[in-house]
Structure 1
Amino acid sequence: MLSPKSTEVVRATLPAVGGAIGEITPLFYDKLFAAHPGLLRDLFNRGNQANGSQQQALAGAVAAFASALVEHPDVRPDAMLARIAHKHASLGIAPEQYPIVQEHLFAAIVEVLGDAVTPEVAAAWDEVYWLMANALIALEARLYEEAGTAPGRAGFPCEVVGRFRETDDVTTFVVQPTDGRPVPAGRPGQYVSVQVTLADGAQQIRQYSLSGQPEGALQFSVKRVGDGEVSAHLHDRVKVGDTILVSAPFGDVTLEDGDAPVLLASAGIGCTPIVGMLTHLAATEARRKVIAVHADRSPSTHAFRSDLRALVAKLPDAEAHVWYEEPEAEWPADRTGLVDLSSVEIPAGTVAYLCGPLPFMRAARAQLLEAGIAAADIHYEVFGPDLWLGAEG
């Protein structure tokens, strides 16, 4: 809880800080990487730094957390913190890195806002920072303990024991720990971090959703993304028998067991956590109502197209609805164009899980709210920096 004095200071200065956060965050990263160049080389996604999405995500998280402290002083924004903590744990973020971030973030704030950052203002925002940081450190400690790993360790060596081409640009990898340790348990909807060494020596890390539940192994699927360094490396260089570093599964958007109807809606490569959830439902012989919705450009770009139909067929009360923008004669679509959930009968009390591009998820969420689905029952997963964090629930 933010102290009463700091609450008033933060409330008064939030517009100024929030208005300047677009200048503060890139300057913060410049200062951080100048002092610690290895962070950009080996931890942060260089592509997201180059296109600015990482800065936008940080700005949104800081502003959302400060706003929550001011507007709801007795309620900690646990949902937002959990999402960040899971991502940090998958990267191996350690407590000793938080003071480093604080140093360079506050240096950037002072440089941008100048004399407006009085000692009183600095103390109030320092309190905001450490409330957020200490909450994250505590959450991450529990996640590390549950995963049987330690802060600062992003992954453990795994051998690639299977590699399968799903589409021209999506490949599935199956891995097993090389040291004989038990495979860490994952929940449907979670992801793993994968660390590879690129040609220039950088050890870059990316997260990929678990797309199945093979016995004694972890399975994740990778889409080759334009100029994506790691996805290209995995597609072009990583073969069966190779060793890569893979983290334990993390992620707060997971399929909850229960009897409530469930809607699983995806677009494009967003199908990977969704097919993982469907796999779990089929494996546990779930009898709840299941509605699977997917949108893709065409049948040939639809990864796990056959799996979707096969898994739905295994469930006693399940249905699939597929939209293709460019249908192909040999694989006709249920519907063409963009997803319109108003054409799908969605029972009251449905719990929804969404994954795909932000425009798709925004549209799907709006349609679900219009259909009477409670906002608290609509969950989403974002690939890459969460630019939705704090903007919509």
Structure 2
Amino acid sequence: MKEIKILSENLLYGIADNSSPSGRPGGAAGLYIHIPFCKQACHYCDFHFSTSLKKKGKLVEMLCRELVLRKNELNSPEIQTIYFGGGTPSLLEADELQQIFETIYANYKIAENPEITLEANPDDLTQEKLKMLKASEINRLSIGVQSFFEDDLKLMNRAHNSEEALKSIKLAKSYFDNISIDLIYGIPGMSAERWQRNIEISLELGVPHISSYALTVEPNTALQKFIEKGKIKQVDDEAAKFHFEILVETLTGNGFEHYEFSNFGKPGYFSENNTAYWLGKPYLGIGPAAHSYDGNSRKWNISNNPLYIKALEKDKIPQETETLSLSDKYNEYVMTRLRTKFGVELAEVSSKFGEDYKAHFVELAKPLQKGNLLQEKNGIYHITSKGKFLSDGIAADLFFLE
């Protein structure tokens, strides 16, 4: 069963839902700020960014203008999560970060004690940078470690080395309690022993949240070209599956809850931002390539920094819009929920989509249950341990195709 690529942690979908596992009031929304700059290009990355920082100040100015222009777009009483993604948001200077926050707080109602996350690369997290971030509104860091081993980092063309990966986390813990790290498995040449050691190092460092992804070969990336030329070995799906099994067993055996396919958290440290996406909360995406969702439609900004700046200088939002059909909403509900601990609830399917969709789901679920890929308890369907690595493909088998 073929895995279907999820666009990004920050580009998710779904239906508006008034429940909140974090205990926050229903109806709250999220802000996603895309910072499209990096020091250098990772070989596997196909997200939108530029390695030229010349227009960074101007782009931050236009981010703020977009925030003002779209301040009434969300039909929500308040913002409960703010997420700086990229790109590399840790490239922002103190004055740039302050400019963005001043604009947000002047134009949006922010919940009490919001979760505010900034993605950071280890090589940026000096003591000076961490002091600056601590003095800002940021209260959660997501550190893009990917691996603690030099060979892996060189293969991926990461800007940091293994020593910086370790040092950044140790330093960050002096300033932040809520820290997540990213790890990548299935890297060509990565043994099971090396992957196990990556996880063990993370545990020794006392990180309370880990997001972990299989290395994928995206079209038109340097990684694809190197594999085609034989400079790098092809990604081994069976090795990646074994790495995933090691990941789940090790982390769940050490007090982490596997609350979404790629995410593991200690109690009290689940990502509120990501959980809101998976539960279909509305969110506003600001910046080039950023996506937004309001419950009925999805919008995405142009993936071009100069054109984005040019449009915003004229007070125009350079974006496209897709209105979701009922089937689109159902399919995305199924995909996101099956990736999470929450599962697909038949009563919810019935209330949101109608009895025909409920009957459709139940009928298509039967062979997956017989194959021990899907299980049902009290009207809630979850992926089994056997089916975990195929979760997106299983979801696709349950889609409603018009």
| TM-score higher than 0.5 | no
The alignment's TM-score, normalised by the length of structure 1, stands at: 0.29
Tell me which structure has the larger Cα radius of gyration: 1
The alignment's TM-score, normalised by the length of structure 2, stands at: 0.28
RCO higher in structure (CA 8 A, sep ≥6):
2
Structure with bigger helix share is 1
